[in-house]
Amino acid sequence: MTGGGARGGVAGPAAGDAAGLRRVLDPPGVLPQAARRLDTDPRIRPDEVRVRVERLNLDAASYRQLHTAHGGDPDAIRREVLEIVAERGKMHNPVTGSGGMLVGVVEEAGPESPLGLRRGDRIATLVSLTLTPLAITDGLARWDGLSEQVPAEGHAILFARSIAAVLPDDLPVPLALSVMDVCGAPALTHRVVTRAAERLDAGGPPVQRLAAERAAVASAARRGGERAAGRPGPVVAVLGAAVKSGSMALAAARRADAGRTIGLVPTQAEEEALAATGLADRVVRADARDPVAVAAAIGEPADVTVVCVDVPGCEHGAILATAPGGTVVFFSMATSFPAAALGAEGLAADVTMLIGNGYVPGHAEMALGLVREVPEVRGLFTARVGADSAE
């Protein structure tokens, strides 16, 4: 096996049961993501899967918040993660509202599980830790507290409507995990930019709304993204372009026939690193929290703006940098959606704003394909997380 196939369940009549409603302990009647506490009993129901945990990947916004709150003290960060999991039965940061994902080995799959997983499969979960029942048994003793990737022992439960991908054999586990953690970003970017390019080809105005399409994202990505000569493709700006999701969004935008790509970064070091890859046609530097500076750096407003910055306060800059009728895609879990909505209203900005919800059909296959086929993307991942270490 050389590819990681994503597998997910489809809700039947008992949609709440398929989504894990039976695992909610408090408060009653909500789905697992909104719950304060989940049941981590390792005994599975017929449609569930139990996974032996090997590694967690905390999402960037959550880890940054923990690191900042504890002044970078690794012991304090470790203690808080353990306290959250013990108290809530899941990794659900109460400040950021976000979690991450995990890698593990299937220990048992119920006979009615629709996920297609078998005992012994090494998988990455493609659903958030904020809705995944999780128990940690080793005290995170092997984690130094200094990175988002967390060696761990314990178990997790997947529901009928969960999503998981069998890990590929041709990529190191840390690299595959870090890629799958952000695999929704390139897939949705590809979809949005493709639609923008189609509208421009048809002679219409910039994109005003995202069509509800279920295209085969992975197969479209493998076209290679060759733009027809002279095509005035859409301008795509990525805020946080040197982070994992940002670099993949740039690569996906090019494959989706972007006319020009702009990568915005906060520091000279990231500017130099991104410029050296050639992933962006233009690299600019500004604090994404400074709306005027962002708009000035981007220059000509973008048809599509993708926000991958993992700090709060980047909503208004993204809106100012987007052309009337354009689209802003928010992938950061640090985004304040009230700030985005009210800010757009206050600026009289006619833009469509999308929440990057992390799932697009074919997203894992597309992301893994980009890492395999675009050395510059793999290089940025490796530089940020040391992900090419053998395991």
Which two three-digit tokens encode residue 294? 């962002």
Which tokens is 316 given? Answer: 């208004």
Asked if the model's pLDDT at residue 227 lies above 50, the reply is no
Q: What is the mean pLDDT of the chain?
A: 88
pLDDT of residue 1: 38
Could you tell me the pLDDT band of residue 384, with boundaries at 50, 70 and 90? confident
The pLDDT confidence band at residue 388, using thresholds 50, 70 and 90, is very low
Residues 296-306: pLDDT tens digits? Answer: 999 999 999 99
Is residue 105 within 8 A of residue 121, CB to CB? The reply is: yes
Q: What mean pLDDT do residues 239-264 have?
A: 96
Domains (range + CATH), the chain: 6-170 (no CATH), 184-380 (3.40.50.720)
pLDDT at 229 over 60: no
How does pLDDT run across 95-136, given as a tens digit for each residue?
999 999 999 999 999 999 999 999 999 999 999 999 999 999
The pLDDT value recorded for residue 199 is 81
Given a cut of 80, whether residue 225 has pLDDT beyond it is no
What pLDDT was estimated at residue 386? 62
pLDDT digits (tens, 9 = 90+) for 34-44: 999 999 999 99
